[in-house]
Chains A and B, each alone.
Chain A
Amino acid sequence: MFEVTKALRLLPLYGDWVPHWVPHWVAVERFGALFDARHYRGQVATLGRSERELVSHYESVGASQGLSPSPLFSVEHYVAQAGDEAILDPLGHFRSVGWRQGLDPHPCFSSRRWLAKFSQEVEQLGDPVSHYLMGGWRSGYSPSDFVALKYAESRLPLMFRGRVEPLSYILKQMIGPFNRPHPCVSESHLMSRLRQRRIEPTPNAIWHQVAEWDAPWSPSPLFDTEFYEATYPESAVHPRGPFGHFLETGQYQDFDPNPYFNSNWYRSRYGRKLSGESPFLHYMTQERTLRFDPGPDFSTRHYYRSQVMVRRRRLSPLEHFLERGCYTQATIQSNSIPAFVRDQILEAAEFDGEIRGCLKTLPQLKVYNRHFRHRVTRLFAILKTLIDRPFSAVVFVPFLSRGGADLEAIHLVRWLQETRSVDDVLLVLTDSDVTKSLDWLPPGTRTVVFSHLSTDISESDRIQLVQLLIETYRPEVCHNVNSRVMWKLVATKGKALSLLTRLHATLFCFDYDAQGRRCGYAVEYLPQSIEHLDSICVDNDAFRRAMIEELPLPKHQAGKIHSLYSPTKPFGRAIGVALRIARLSAGKSRPQVMWAGRLDRQKRPELLVAIAARMPECDFHVFGGHVLDQHDPLTEVSSNVIRHGEYREFFELPIEDMDCYLYTAAWDGIPNALIDAMQSGLPIVTPHVGGISELVDETTGWPVHPGDDPEAYVATLRSLFADPQEALHRVERGLDRLVQQHSWETYAARSAMILDPVARRSTPVVIGGEGALVR
């Protein structure tokens, strides 16, 4: 036994066979203990195993390349404080002058804090981190406010406790409930914050976020900001907010981080066992022994026994309750009915026979859990901190992909910003965290993403969040561009909501399920919602007419549906028209056909495959990926189909090399891809579905009849390639059509007429012939 213990003690210093996550620092005069061979080797895996080789590599190459010599030395963090003078040799800079200037080597290590405690010892060893690593950690003193060393050590496997320096051990691994330097570091909260700030979760970003926690909401379920601020009002004015106050002061002075932890009670009950530690850190360190309770209302043992997941995964009972249990009716102590309630039931039973019934079932009576909380309340509190100031218009979208509906939403945001102010408009992504087209938004657009509030939000929570947002902020107008969450809310509570705000919606076309049945928002929600909506905009007149004629809508509501053509992109332009016509006229090269869009059922990529198989003399370039459907429709295609994958922006595609644009959708409104293609000067071949005929007709393109026959497409494409001069004429007329029908000015004027109640009252809306208004 002695031999094993002795060998383990030597582990961190000598064994080359030691697992990779055990720190292995090399004492070099120049670096003190700040060179960890194993850590460094992880970044330059191609190097040999020799420590000398690693040190030499760091000295000659690694330092200037910004490689980290130790888990406790973050080059990025250090250089951000020290400036350019430290770029070439950050470690040398820290060792020579940095620590004396109070610069920190890592977000988890405060030089000043360490020096305040061990100034003399540090001088002898050259820098505070070396002193910490070479034995200072054994003092139990923490190098930072959010490193609780005893707690961190309790996270280590039993065999390493007291033998391995805990902070480096933790920093070398992924952050998690069993691997964190302080109980108030929550992986899920951290990741949510990083997603909100659109920061990649690199180790440095994670630890930096912990150290510089800047959100007004809590970084951990264990810290209840609202409670802490209300209980300790002085924390509200702390420069780093209530959580900063707790780290700096509260955790050492018996301040309670949440209402379920009662430091006074804990000290009075377990005072003799604290041995200098604060009650909260002592409890969190000892919690897994199940011998301590955080307060009089919470039985650690009861919770541990009643929660299978906590037991199975050995999670913290208190943290689990505050993060999940309180939202799921979990009990924190055995329910007992007070004696006076029993007596009073007996008394009331004399008046009422039905109460007598309660007496019989009293032991089994369900007791409502007074500790139950609605999760959406916490989510809304976070949302409020992200919104932080009022707005008068809000646009709800499900997500921001790179499709037509997304572009439509962005046009709407831009118009609202132009008519109000950039700051007065809020864009809310309600259904998912897809944010691909954020770069399409005007700079400064205020955006919130519900999915960034937490990793798992139910649809009912999302619906309630929208409701609370409207009830609390009372925006003048709410626009819904394809948000299912918003449609569901309006369908059930639209009547009341329409008194708090003006509700508008944008629709595009009917959808069809796999069995060919009509579906989509217009079918599912519009009939029961239209009464509460101020207006419904559609991007083509054919759909407007179809809805009025075919949906069971009250007749007097039909006037609320308006067509509003999408505008062209401000940066879009005709590209390579003359060269294309010359190329087609010469007839020497293979025609290049462009197909760009979602590879989903609606767009009929299988039709493209059939056309390509019949036209071996052409190349078909496919741009786009599948969004809604899971299967890949282009697994077996002829060799003249060339896939290019997803694209960011139509006008970034090699338009000048293409000879025409082919569209094959089964149903649609007026797709933005067609507007883009027309704006780019490409001849267009398309079926006449939905509202497409309002853009592409025999004068502006090549409509295909019937639209599901590959042979009809083949014939149309061949006739296009055979008459380049006609192609030029139709392209020119197409560009004229766009100017008349799809300019920003037309869009803005029409939007004002539909969406601005003052403008609407003064302008008669022509029902049944709206297309004429903008032609």
Chain B
Amino acid sequence: MIDIDAVINLHREGQIALPSLRSASVAAEEARAAGLQVKLNLVLDRSDAETLALAEEFAARHDAVLHQVAYGDLSKSRNHAVDCSSARFLGFLDGDDLWSSNWLIESYRFSVEAGERTICHPAWNVIFGAKQVLFPHPDQLDRKFSKSELLTRNCWTALSFARREIYAAFPYQPNRLDLGFGFEDWAWNLVTIENGYVHRAVPGTTHFIRYKTSDSLRDRTTGLGGLRTPPDLDQLLATARSSC
């Protein structure tokens, strides 16, 4: 049985995806060196030719699995990877971000030790590119962490690591920016906490998050002044349709 499915979500990153893929392969190697079975999965959602070619070459060299989808939505791409996976654990990486080399092995060890209801995040994020900031992740079990803070801000990025069952039980909700709803990672963090899962920061690990001058999803979400997607959005839409 595969221990970890490492999922790299790609869109139209082009050459920018190379450092991400390299960091993923290094992290996978480190985990394999510790005796784990790790499979790399590249999910390409409406990607361009350059990204596809680059991904194909990488897949061939690293024995990675290529998934081509056409959702045009990051949440659905992640859910697709979950549906295709049979591994015990899953870890997500966006095609322009990087993992520290110890991310997969350390979060695996941490998850096994901390228990089944654990969702792992890196202890630190290094935001680089157009903006440079160091961003530490809070640990939900830290006495200074307040759950009510989640009402007004997202505490963790989407690049988490957890048991596959958790992602299967709580699929990411697609963003509905056309309706003014976004922040799929924030909504997912909230819904998992409400269901008793615990978000932890894995000591000694770092993610590198590329901050671009223009990020289509970020810009559209904040520009629209969107709300966090509620868990019952589908129900709300059905009610709205029936009352029209």
To the question of whether A and B form a pair in one complex, the answer is yes
Query: A residues near B, CB below 8 A?
Result: 226-227, 231, 259-260, 297, 337-338, 340-341, 344-345, 347-348, 351-352, 354-355, 357-358, 361, 365-368, 370-371, 373-374, 376-377, 380-381, 464, 467-468, 471-472, 492-497, 499-500, 757
A231 lies within 8 A of B143 (CB): yes
B152 lies within 8 A of A376 (CB): yes
Given contacts A348-B208, A351-B23, contact A226 B148 (CB under 8 A): yes
B227 lies within 8 A of A358 (CB): no
* Smallest CB separation, B183 vs chain A (Å): 11
* Smallest CB separation, B26 vs chain A (Å): 8
Chain A residues positioned under 8 Å from B233 (CB to CB): 499
A355 lies within 8 A of B133 (CB): no
Chain B residues positioned under 8 Å from A494 (CB to CB): 180
| 22 interchain pairs, CB-CB under 8 A | A226-B148, A227-B143, A259-B144, A337-B134, A338-B124, A344-B100, A344-B102, A345-B208, A352-B128, A355-B98, A357-B132, A358-B128, A361-B132, A366-B132, A367-B136, A373-B149, A380-B148, A471-B227, A472-B151, A496-B179, A496-B226, A499-B233
B101 lies within 8 A of A354 (CB): no
A361 to B138, CA, bound (A): 24
Chain B residues positioned under 8 Å from A471 (CB to CB): 227-228, 230
A351 lies within 8 A of B98 (CB): yes
Residues of chain B from 130 to 172 with CB closer than 8 A to chain A in the complex: 132-136, 138, 143-144, 146-149, 151-153
B134 lies within 8 A of A497 (CB): no
Chain B residues positioned under 8 Å from A381 (CB to CB): 148
Residue of B nearest to A361 (CB): B132
A291 to B128, CA, bound (A): 39
B100 lies within 8 A of A468 (CB): no
* Smallest CB separation, A500 vs chain B (Å): 7
Query: B residues near A, CB below 8 A?
Result: 18-19, 22-23, 98, 100-102, 123-124, 126, 128-129, 132-136, 138, 143-144, 146-149, 151-153, 179-181, 204, 206, 208, 210, 224-228, 230, 233, 236-237, 240, 243
Chain A residues positioned under 8 Å from B226 (CB to CB): 493, 496
* Smallest CB separation, A191 vs chain B (Å): 23
Residue of B nearest to A326 (CB): B144
Residue of B nearest to A467 (CB): B227
Q: How many residue pairs at the A-B interface have CB separations less than 8 Å? A: 125
Residue of B nearest to A379 (CB): B152
Given contacts A259-B144, A358-B126, contact A368 B133 (CB under 8 A): yes
Given contacts A352-B208, A377-B152, contact A499 B179 (CB under 8 A): yes
Chain A residues positioned under 8 Å from B149 (CB to CB): 373-374, 377
A493 lies within 8 A of B180 (CB): yes
Residue among A260, A338, A472, A493 making CB contact with B144, cutoff 8 Å: A260
Residue of B nearest to A256 (CB): B143
Interface centre among A297, A340, A757 (most CB of B within 10 A): A340
A344 to B203, CA, bound (A): 13
B206 lies within 8 A of A351 (CB): no
A366 lies within 8 A of B208 (CB): no
Interface centre among A231, A374, A494, A497 (most CB of B within 10 A): A374
A494 to B226, CA, bound (A): 9
Chain B residues positioned under 8 Å from A231 (CB to CB): 143
Given contacts A348-B23, A351-B98, A352-B208, contact A371 B144 (CB under 8 A): yes
Chain B interface helix/strand/loop/mixed: mixed
B227 lies within 8 A of A347 (CB): no
A297 to B236, CA, bound (A): 44
A112 to B227, CA, bound (A): 54
A368 lies within 8 A of B136 (CB): yes
B133 lies within 8 A of A367 (CB): yes
A352 to B210, CA, bound (A): 10
Chain B residues positioned under 8 Å from A297 (CB to CB): 144
B225 lies within 8 A of A493 (CB): yes
Residue among A347, A348, A368 making CB contact with B134, cutoff 8 Å: A368
* Smallest CB separation, B64 vs chain A (Å): 17
Chain A residues positioned under 8 Å from B126 (CB to CB): 341, 344-345, 348, 355, 358
Chain B residues positioned under 8 Å from A337 (CB to CB): 134
Chain B residues positioned under 8 Å from A227 (CB to CB): 143, 146
A366 lies within 8 A of B133 (CB): yes
* Smallest CB separation, B177 vs chain A (Å): 10
Residue of B nearest to A260 (CB): B144
A472 to B237, CA, bound (A): 18
Residue of B nearest to A493 (CB): B225
Residue of A nearest to B101 (CB): A347
Given contacts A355-B128, A358-B126, A464-B152, contact A496 B227 (CB under 8 A): yes
Chain B residues positioned under 8 Å from A259 (CB to CB): 143-144
Chain B residues positioned under 8 Å from A370 (CB to CB): 136, 138
A468 lies within 8 A of B152 (CB): yes
A467 to B18, CA, bound (A): 41
Residue of B nearest to A497 (CB): B227
A231 to B124, CA, bound (A): 26
Chain B residues positioned under 8 Å from A380 (CB to CB): 148, 151-152
A373 to B228, CA, bound (A): 19
A169 to B136, CA, bound (A): 47
Interface centre among A381, A471, A494, A495 (most CB of B within 10 A): A495
Residue of B nearest to A373 (CB): B149
B124 lies within 8 A of A341 (CB): yes
* Pairs A-B, 4 closest by C-beta atoms: A496-B180, A495-B180, A352-B19, A351-B19
B143 lies within 8 A of A496 (CB): no
Residue of A nearest to B176 (CB): A496
Interface centre among A352, A355, A377 (most CB of B within 10 A): A352
Given contacts A345-B126, A493-B226, A499-B237, contact A354 B210 (CB under 8 A): yes
* Smallest CB separation, B205 vs chain A (Å): 8
Chain A residues positioned under 8 Å from B151 (CB to CB): 377, 380, 468, 472
A358 lies within 8 A of B132 (CB): yes
Residue of B nearest to A341 (CB): B124
Given contacts A355-B126, A381-B148, A468-B151, contact A367 B208 (CB under 8 A): no
A340 to B210, CA, bound (A): 20
A370 to B132, CA, bound (A): 16
B236 lies within 8 A of A499 (CB): yes
* Smallest CB separation, B226 vs chain A (Å): 6
A260 to B18, CA, bound (A): 43
Chain A residues positioned under 8 Å from B227 (CB to CB): 467, 471, 493, 496-497, 500
Given contacts A227-B143, A352-B208, contact A500 B136 (CB under 8 A): no
Residue of A nearest to B23 (CB): A351
A588 to B66, CA, bound (A): 102
A373 to B227, CA, bound (A): 19
A492 lies within 8 A of B136 (CB): no
A500 lies within 8 A of B230 (CB): yes
* Smallest CB separation, A499 vs chain B (Å): 5
Chain B residues positioned under 8 Å from A348 (CB to CB): 19, 23, 98, 100, 126, 206, 208
Residue among A345, A351, A376 making CB contact with B22, cutoff 8 Å: A351
Chain A residues positioned under 8 Å from B210 (CB to CB): 354
A717 to B19, CA, bound (A): 86
Residue of A nearest to B229 (CB): A496
A377 lies within 8 A of B148 (CB): yes
Interface centre among A231, A348, A380 (most CB of B within 10 A): A348
Chain B residues positioned under 8 Å from A226 (CB to CB): 146-148
A471 to B231, CA, bound (A): 11
* Smallest CB separation, B34 vs chain A (Å): 17
A357 to B233, CA, bound (A): 42
Interface centre among A354, A376, A494 (most CB of B within 10 A): A354
* Smallest CB separation, A166 vs chain B (Å): 33
A368 lies within 8 A of B179 (CB): no
Residue of B nearest to A757 (CB): B243
Chain A residues positioned under 8 Å from B152 (CB to CB): 374, 376-377, 380, 464, 468
Please name 14 further chain A to chain B contacts, defined as beta carbons within 8 Å, in addition to the given A355-B128, A374-B153, A377-B146, sorted by A numbering: A226-B148, A227-B146, A337-B134, A340-B204, A344-B101, A348-B19, A355-B98, A357-B132, A367-B136, A380-B152, A471-B228, A472-B151, A496-B179, A500-B236
